[in-house]
Amino acid sequence: MIQNLVDGVLVGSILSLGAIGLTMAMHMLRFANFSHAELLSIGAYAALVFDGLFGAIHPALPEAIPPLSLTWSLTLALLLSMALTGLSAVAVDKLVFKRVRAKGGELSMVFASFGVAMIIRNILGLIFGLNPKLYSQDIVFAIVVSRDPFLLIKPDQVFTLVAALLIMFILHLVLSRTTFGYSLRAVAENPTLAQVSGINLNRMIVLIWLIGGGLAAAAGVFYGLTNQINPVLGRDLVLPIFAATIVGGIGSIYGAVLGGFLVGLASNLALVILPSGYSPAVPFLIILAVLILRPHGLFGEERT
């Protein structure tokens, strides 16, 4: 039970990072982006490649930072991957979504995003193979925190949670203290008024993709660090991340953070009563529950 709680918080932090970008893009561009979770995969694989490159450049970089399995080179690779994934998100928007948008098909965007997801997911599979990969072959043993109740935690998991919370805290500071953050919130609330207040919407769309892609990359790397990297990572996470945005209310960044943790916790606690095979269905149950109890989520506003 306590193990499920701890695991749930950990998975929740990863889902939150993914859901922040999704909820922003979904609110602003008004479509359910089924390719968002593929950005996590891009981020995870990009970091894998950069990690290898850094390792080849300097012998000290592949050293693990005790007690983690995380290496210095992977830390650098994470930052580079966040930038690259942000840029890929902008590129996908330029190549596909922007053009479909220009043709006026709000609903066609959803189709397009499915197509994009298929392309990204399977190209990653073709490049990196269908077998799972790991950032480190070193085995780092989990630490037994307590024997009764039994609780195992890996140092990497603690790092992931702290790093995810740190990233979210930085985002919070940006949103609540900087005029750039005000602009982001302004655009989310009322795009037309934001525009007449001098905000360039097209530039904001680019920035939202950059931020969303960067956060997704971090989520993907953290997922890879605590589980494994595989090409269907996006397929497995797309529904939980959507559930997080719906729980929080589409468009609410803080809602997405809370939603991520709630979905992570609920999915792991459900394993106490359900066999683990059923876990992919849990996010759907959460979505149903939210739609019945509070259709616009915890912080969402009615918007048709």
Partner 1 sequence: MIGIISYLVFFATVASILSIAVLGLNLQWGNTGLFNGGVVAFFGAGAYGTLILGGTPQAGQLGGFGLPYLLALLGGMTCAGLVAWIVGLLTIRLRHDYLAIATFGVAVAFETVMRNTDALGGAQGIRGFERPLRETLGNGFTYNLAFFVFVLILLIATYLFLERLIQSPFGRLLRAIREDETAAQSLGKSPSRVRLTSFVAGSVIMGLAGGLYATFYAFISPQDVLPILTFQIWAMLIVGGAGNNKGAVMGTFLIWAAWTASGWALSRFAPLEVQLYTGSIQFVLIGFVIVGMLLWRPQGLFPEKLVVSQSAKNKSRLSNT
Partner 2 sequence: MTALVARNIVAGYVPDLPILKGVSLSAEAARVTVIIGPNGAGKSTLIKAIAGLVPVSGGMVHLNGAEITNPRPDRMGALGVAYVPQSDNIFRSLTIRQNLDLVLRNAGKDAAARREALFTRFPALADKQSEKAGALSGGQRQFLAVAMALAINPSVILMDEPSAGLSPKAAQEVLEYAKSLTEQGVTILLVEQNVKQALRLADHCYILADGRNQVDGAAQDLLNDPVVGQIYLGGKRVTHA
In this chain, which stretch among 67-75, 148-156, 243-251, 262-270 interacts with partner 1, using CB under 8 A?
Answer: 243-251
- Tell me the sheet residues that pair with 64: 71
Q: Which of 119, 134, 175, 199 binds partner 1 (CB under 8 A)?
A: 119
Determine the 3-state secondary structure of 153 from DSSP.
strand
CA atoms within 13 A on the CB side of 125: 13
**Is position 99 an interface residue for partner 1 (rule: CB under 8 A)?**
yes
d(CA 194, CA 159): 38
Binding mask 128-147 for partner 1 (x = CB under 8 A): --x-----------------
Task: Give strand ranges (E) for the chain.
Answer: 143-147, 150-153
- In whole angstroms, the minimum distance from the beta carbon of 41 to partner 1 comes to 13
**Is position 227 an interface residue for partner 2 (rule: CB under 8 A)?**
no
**Subset of residues 236 to 255 that bind partner 2, contact rule: CB under 8 A:** none
Query: Six-digit token pair at 213?
Result: 């892609």
Query: Six-digit token pair at 295?
Result: 């259709």
- In whole angstroms, the minimum distance from the beta carbon of 250 to partner 2 comes to 15
Which does residue 32 touch among partner 2, partner 1, none (CB within 5 to 8 A, set by kind)? Answer: partner 1
- In whole angstroms, the minimum distance from the beta carbon of 303 to partner 2 comes to 12
DSSP 169-194: HHHHHHHHHSHHHHHHHHHHH-HHHH
**Is position 112 an interface residue for partner 1 (rule: CB under 8 A)?**
yes
d(CA 281, CA 286): 9
d(CA 73, CA 54): 6
- In whole angstroms, the minimum distance from the beta carbon of 27 to partner 1 comes to 10
Of 170, 192, 190, 191, the residue nearest 181 (C-alpha): 170
Q: Which residues bind partner 2 (CB under 8 A)?
A: 179-180, 182-183, 185-186, 189-190, 192-201
Q: Which residues bind partner 1 (CB under 8 A)?
A: 26, 30-32, 34, 96, 99-100, 103, 105-108, 110-112, 114-119, 121-123, 125-126, 130, 235, 238-239, 242-243, 246, 250, 275, 277-281, 283-285, 287-288, 291-292, 295, 303-304
